[in-house]
Every structure is written in structure tokens, then in C-alpha cells.
Amino acid sequence: MAEIKFAENEIIVSKTDTSGKITYGNELFLKLAGYSERDILHAPHNIVRHPDMPKIIFKLLLLRSTKTFRKSSQYH
């Protein structure tokens, strides 16, 4: 697979629920993932995981983002 380049001001955005299911993906995320919004919504986020990426990475990212959210919620 060839390297994909995009503009510096383009941001890849995806959101998941607490179980890791995709609830939102911006246009760039959908383009890079190769899925339509209809096909990817409510799918597990690891659907976009490269086969060489260890599965544990997604679990660690989810745990880290959950902790960050809880920390920031304490102040509101």
C-alpha cells in the first residue's frame, strides 16, 4: 500500500461510544478508512486497524481516552 498524503490542515476525526463502536467519522476519516458512513457507523473502531498493528493498542487508547475524559469531567 502506498503512503497517503493530505494537507497539514486536514484533521482525521473519529468518535466512539464507551464500547469502542464508531459513532462519528469525518470525511477524511471515511476516505482514509475506505468505508462509507453507513458502513462504518456502529462498527468496532478496530475495523480500521492495520493487520500489523497489535490489537492491544486500541484497548490502551480506549482506556487512556476514558481516563482523560473522567479527569476533565471532575472539573466541570
CA distances from residue 50 to 8, 55, 57 in whole angstroms, order as listed: 22, 9, 11
Q: For the chain, how big is the Rg over CA atoms in Å?
A: 14
Examine residue 18 and state whether it is found in any structural domain, yes or no: yes
Report if residue 25 sits inside a domain.
yes
The whole-angstrom separation of Cα 55 and Cα 5 is 25
Domain annotation covers residue 8: no
- Number of domains forming the structure of the chain: 1
Q: List residues bridging with 25 in a β-sheet.
A: 14
pLDDT in tens for each of the 76 residues of the chain? 678 787 889 999 999 888 889 999 999 999 989 999 999 999 998 888 777 877 787 677 767 766 555 555 555 4
Q: What is the pTM of this model?
A: 0.66
